[in-house]
Amino acid sequence: MYRSRPKDKLDDHVLRFLSSMQHDQAILYYDILGSEAHSIMLHEMGHLTSGELEKILSALEDAKKNPNRIETEGYEDIHEALEAFVIKKEGMNAGGKMHTARSRNDQVVLDIRMKIRDDINDVCAALASLIEGVVQKAKESKQAAMPMYTHLQQAQIGTFSHFLLSYAYALMRDMERLYLVYQRVNQSPLGACAIGGSSLSIDRKRTAILLGFDSIVRNSIDATSSRDAFLEYAATLAIMTSTLGRIAEDFIIWSTTEFGYIELADRYSSTSSAMPQKKNPDPLELIRAKAAIVTSDLVSMLGIVKALPSGYSRDLQDVKPPLLGASATTLDAIRVIDGAVRTLKVNKERMRQAASTSYAIALDIAEQLVMKKKMPFRAAHKIVGALVDVAASKDNLPLAKLQVSDIVSVLKAQKVNVKPDELMKIIKEMTPEKSLEARKSTGSPNLKEQEEMIKSLSQGVSNYKIGIQRRTRMVQGSFDNLGRAVMKYLQS
């Protein structure tokens, strides 16, 4: 339909190569709304008669209700197919005017902005639910003592809730980033036309308002050439899915027989075709993989836009699949992990057993020596390290099971003036519970701190929920208003 200069029609293979039709299905709805708003504005500015507008709107409403009536064969993209549909249905005299003062270059980026605006609201809402689920689980496991790990080696005593709250904080930062990107996405490029605007009088602010945008992307080159807001969005998703990957990885490790700290619900587990005993964490493993996929979507997008000349180039079409893919993949991953967290079983006894037989109390013991004996930390570190060395050589005996004679020889070797009985008492008293109680610093896993963190995270997430709902209502409200304006023209 667009071929005014070329005499020959496109080679079939080239047409297939050029076509973005497959991925355009996701933006068709927005293309219709954008076309309605644009046509109303054209009428208001005197470029379409009421009769012409009515015809165009009636075809667009038909397309909205029956999208499968739009012929897609033989067209380069959905923009061409939709315009052809309108022209075929209402004739060239009316339909042929729809594309006045517009180009596919401002049109496609308008559609994607509207789509991503909705996606951000959906991802934010899913993320809010996930954070709520994680915090709820934390409330139920505030006192579930377990080892914490560095280098995957037992490090200090913590609680399961402390891990969960650490995820919630990271997810809250993902939320903050995502919430901010919205403002940069929610600006209308429509009316920038091909690259340099139009000599016809158009009202860009009017179409922006009709479509629920906060403002317009002012510069027409910027409006048609820039994809940075989408890159920022995809980068945010890549960071977010890497957070999800970390959560998934922790859960995978802790659900092994060797750890046995948690058990995934049957509904979130897969099995083996061969080994009947298997209960595998496949959904979580896929979340790990999705983090890589979303990252690669971002890298594809960056690679495509890096150093493109200003002004639309067809390369930009290929930004769409990874962008839409990153959205869909992230949304899926959030929903799966949300369900997995809410339904997982916490095996508190197993966690406590691991904590109580662990050398993860070593630092607490050293700190007791610092506090009670005013010992330099370095000296305390040496004593406790030597005690652990002795205990470990006795088949990993817990420190509390050391003999007084072991303690005496360690103290003698380290040349410190501490009574063996006193040290024995410190060691024996250092249960996982005592360790948690003694950990006083802000943000540590003691009960009071857990409760404070739960409170502040719950408050934070409910504030975001209000903002997300307000944004969603604003978009929906502007679409409802647009729908009413369309109906008014169609009924007059």
The string of DSSP letters for 33-65 reads HHHHHHHHHHHHTTSS-HHHHHHHHHHHHHHHH
Nearest approach, Cβ of residue 309 and ligand ARG (Å): 13
Question: Tokens standing for 46?
Answer: 């005197």
Indicate the residue among 77 and 119 with the shorter CB distance to ligand ARG.
77
Residue 28 vs 209, nearer CB to ligand ARG: 28
Residues 262-321 that bind ligand ARG (CB under 6 A): 312, 314, 316-317, 320
329 to 358: interface string for ligand ARG, x by CB under 6 A: ------------------------------
Beta bridge partners of 150: 153
Tokens standing for residue 52: 């012409």
Nearer of residues 108 and 231 to ligand ARG, judged by Cβ: 108
Binding of residue 77 to ligand ARG (CB under 6 A): yes
- E-strand ranges in 193-295 read 215-216, 262-263
Of 215, 272, 313, 462, catalytic = 272
| Residue 20 binds ligand ARG, judged by CB under 6 A | yes
Between CA 401 and CA 394 the distance in angstroms is 10
Q: What stretch of H or E contains 157?
A: strand 153-159
Q: Specify the stretch interacting with ligand ARG by CB under 6 A; choose among 104-112, 139-147, 172-180, 299-307.
A: 104-112
Residue 38 or 352: the one with the smaller Cβ distance to ligand ARG is: 38
Q: How many residues bind ligand ARG (CB under 6 A)?
A: 11
Question: Helix, strand, or coil here: 146?
Answer: strand
- Residue 224 contacts ligand ARG per CB under 6 A: no
Nearest to 490 by CA among 126, 40, 4: 40
Please give the Cα distance from 123 to 129 (Å, whole number).
10
Count of alpha carbons within 13 angstroms of residue 91, beta-carbon side: 7
Nearest-angstrom CA–CA distance, 462 and 382: 47
Q: Is residue 115 near ligand ARG by the rule CB under 6 A?
A: no
Q: Which of 35, 39, 105, 188 binds ligand ARG (CB under 6 A)?
A: 105
Number of Cβ within a 10 Å radius of residue 239: 18
How many whole angstroms separate alpha carbon 371 and alpha carbon 365? 10
Report in angstroms how near the CB of residue 318 gets to ligand ARG at its nearest.
8
Q: Which is nearer to ligand ARG, 194 or 379 (CB)?
A: 194
Nearest-angstrom CA–CA distance, 236 and 178: 6
**Applying CB under 6 A, does 104 fall inside the site for ligand ARG?**
yes
255 is catalytic: no
Q: From the candidates 39, 79, 99, 151, give the one annotated as an active-site residue.
A: 151
Q: How far is the CB of 322 from ligand ARG (least distance, A)?
A: 13
Burial of 248 (0-12, 13-18, 19+ CB in 10 A): buried
Question: What is the rounded distance in angstroms from the CA atom of residue 60 to the CA atom of residue 438?
Answer: 68
Is 39 an active-site residue? no
Does residue 132 bind ligand ARG (CB under 6 A)? no
319/383 with CB nearer ligand ARG: 319
Q: How far is the CB of 451 from ligand ARG (least distance, A)?
A: 51
Which is closer to ligand ARG, CB of 36 or CB of 77?
A: 77
Residue that has been written with the tokens 């007084």 in this structure: 404
43 binds ligand ARG (CB under 6 A): no
- What amino acid occupies position 103? S
Which residues between 452 and 481 bind ligand ARG (CB under 6 A)? Answer: none
Q: Which stretch binds ligand ARG (CB under 6 A): 40-48, 101-109, 225-233, 366-374?
A: 101-109
Of 26, 33, 41, 108, the one binding ligand ARG (CB under 6 A) is 108
Which pair of tokens denotes residue 423?
Answer: 């040290």
Q: How far is 136 from 142, CA to CA, in rounded Å?
A: 10
Q: Which residues pair with 187 in a beta bridge?
A: 215
Q: Which residues contribute to the site for ligand ARG (CB under 6 A)? A: 20, 77, 79, 104-105, 108, 312, 314, 316-317, 320
| Catalytic residue positions, numbered | 151, 272
